[in-house]
Amino acid sequence: MKLYLKIICVAFLLFSIIGGLLIPVPRLPILHETIRNLFYHVPMWFSMIAVLIASLYYSIKYLGSNEMRYDVLAEESAKVGVMFGILGLITGSIWAKNTWGAWWTNDVKLNGAAATMLVYFAYFLLRNSLDDEYKRARIAAVYSIFAFALMAVFIFILPRLTDSLHPGNGGNPAFAKYDLDSTMRIVFYPAVIGWTLLAAWIVNIRVRIHKIQNHFLDLE
Amino acid sequence: MKEIKSLLQKEIMLEWKQKYAFNGLVLYIVSTIFVCFLSFKQIIDPPTWNALFWIIMLFASVNAIAKSFLTESRGRQLYFYSIASAQAVILSKIIYNLVLMLVLSIFNLIFYTLFLGNIVQDMPMFIVGLCLGSAGFASVMTMISAIASKAGSSSTLMAILSFPILIPLLITIIRFSKNAMDGIDWSINYKFAIILIALNVLTIALSYLLFPYLWRE
């Protein structure tokens, strides 16, 4: 990863973490100060989706080329995506406990997130159950493409057809409602970019670790 | 087309020769329903009736379709590989499993009605849902069974791999048939039917594209 991207990443993250706590926010009923969770919870999902799409892209590339480096990239992207997904679930749960009064509710968006996590856990299990390196790469790539396409329907289409308690659905205040309040955007966009860059950075480091481990295995 | 037809014929012949497998599935459904009957006695609540119906369908489909690739021996797979295209193999399996699921779903509906009563108000709509749901289960499970068979053929793996990606389908079909139970008009329910059709088309298209990669060894 280029150095300037790393600098942008760190600068944006520092700015959004500190700025997110300091800037004035609109006082909306029920939400009040918890609206600041927008700066911490929502970027998790943006970066999760970004790395999971990267994982899908590398899976397709692998099937097209049969090069192992694409498989490593696909696997590590999926792992980082799941990590961000778990962070998103935690930040969302804490917020839900304080605004809705429950850690978990039966809601399309929440269920979509949980099902996505289950799919990727199944993906890792499938990988572990296969010993042959090339067979594992191929079968895992097929599963991840197949699963991603079906989950995309679930996450992007179904929530738009049903009511939801989650902000952004069914008349609940959402990001679009804050359009008037441009100060929130000043912090929100850098947060999204910063966290996505951080995710890419982690993937980058993990792939390099993987390479070194493989190198040592070859030496033995 | 001819390939698909002859492969389909082979599947049906094979099933006919091993009738015990099909009878086993019917018995599986009947005993599950009987256990549910003994535990619930009677279901008056529509959401419970509906959810239980589809959960039975889900488990029946896992059991029915798990064997579609798992029971094929390596030698036989190699034989098909040499005489037929991968696309013909997956399409014939999907069509065969679709027919199997439709037959099983009819059995399920009949026995479920006998034991637990029938509180569906719009039966034609419910049957449309049943067909769309069976088709969805069949197409998703066929592909997953192909993946699981390559990965050491364990039926636990099959359930783990298929349940999460069946959730969208299951939620939509439960919503659709719940509306059919309440006698809600087509003008409101059509959008769920469209999602179900879209999911089916998507699954079959993906299977068609991805199966060749699983097939070659």
Model confidence over A124-156: pLDDT tens digits? 999 988 888 888 999 999 999 999 988 887 777
Amino acid found at A63: L
CATH for A3-213 (3.40.190, 1.10.30, 3.30.920, 1.20.120): 1.20.120
Q: CA B44, CA B16: separation in Å to the nearest integer? A: 39
Q: Please indicate whether, in this complex, the C-beta atoms of A126 and B172 are within 8 angstroms of each other.
A: no
Q: Which residues of B touch A151 (CB under 8 A)?
A: 165, 168
Q: Give the one of B150, B164, B199 whose C-beta lies nearest to A115's C-beta.
A: B164
Nearest residue of B to residue A125, measured between CA atoms? B157
Alpha-carbon distance of A14 to A12, in angstroms, equals 6
* CA separation for the pair A214, A211 (Å, rounded): 5
What is the per-residue pLDDT for B84?
Answer: 79
Burial per residue of A58-80, b for 16 or more beta-carbon CB atoms within 10 angstroms, e otherwise: bbbbbbeeeeeebbbbbbbbbbb
Quote the CA–CA distance of B70 and A114 in Å, as a whole number.
Answer: 29
- Write down the pLDDT at residue A170: 44
Judged by CB atoms closer than 8 Å, whether chains meet at A119 and B213 is answered as no
- First-to-last C-alpha distance (Å) of chain A: 30
Decide if pLDDT at A1 tops 80: no
A125 in B contact zone (CB under 8 Å): yes
Residue A179 above 50 pLDDT?
no
pLDDT for residue A205 is more than 90: yes
pLDDT-derived band at A162, boundaries 50, 70, 90:
low
Residue among A119, A123, A127, A143 with most chain B CBs within 10 A, to mutate: A143
* B191 neighbourhood in chain A, CB within 8 Å: 161
Per residue of chain B (217 residues), give pLDDT as tens. 777 788 878 778 777 777 788 888 899 999 999 999 999 888 888 889 999 999 999 999 988 888 777 777 777 777 777 777 888 888 888 999 999 999 999 999 999 999 888 888 888 899 999 999 999 999 999 999 888 888 876 778 888 889 988 988 898 899 899 988 888 888 888 888 888 998 999 999 999 999 988 877 6
Return the pLDDT at B64. 87
* Alpha-carbon distances, residue A78 vs A5, A124, A156, A185 (angstroms): 21, 9, 19, 29
Token pair 């929130």 in the structure block, residue:
A184
At A37, the pLDDT band (50, 70, 90 cuts) reads confident
Residues of A in contact with B199 (CB under 8 A): 150, 153
- Does the structure show a pLDDT above 90 at A208? yes
**Does pLDDT of A174 surpass 80?**
no
Kindly report the nearest CA distance between residue A151 and chain B, in angstroms: 7
Q: Comparing C-alpha atoms, which of B72, B74, B38, B32 is closest to residue B53? A: B32
Q: Higher pLDDT residue, A87 or A171?
A: A87
Nearest alpha-carbon partner for B92 in B213, B4, B206, B193: B4
The pTM assigned to this predicted structure is 0.86
> Which A residues in the span 140-159 are in contact with B, Cβ-Cβ below 8 Å?
141-143, 145-147, 149-151, 153-154, 157-158
pLDDT of A171 above 50: no
Q: Do B164 and A118 touch (CB under 8 A)?
A: yes
Look up residue B110 and give its two tokens: 């009949």
Q: What is the DSSP letter of A32?
A: G
- Cβ of A150 within 8 Å of Cβ of B210? The answer is no
Give B33-91 pLDDT, tens digit per residue.
999 999 988 888 888 999 999 999 999 998 888 877 777 777 777 777 777 788 888 88
In chain A, residues with a C-beta closer than 8 Å to the C-beta of B164 are: 115-116, 118-119, 122, 147
Query: Are B130 and B180 a contacting pair, CB within 8 Å?
Result: no
- Which 8-state DSSP code applies to residue A157? I
Domain boundaries along the sequence of chain A: 3-213
Lowest mean per-residue pLDDT among A11-25, A66-80, A205-219: A11-25
What pLDDT band is residue A161 in, cutting at 50, 70 and 90?
Answer: low
Task: Check A151 against B150: CB less than 8 A apart.
Answer: no
Judge whether residue A38 has pLDDT over 60. yes
Lowest mean pLDDT among A52-61, A92-101, A127-136, B141-150: A92-101
Chain B CB contacts of A65 below 8 Å: none
Q: Are A129 and B152 within 8 A, CB to CB?
A: yes
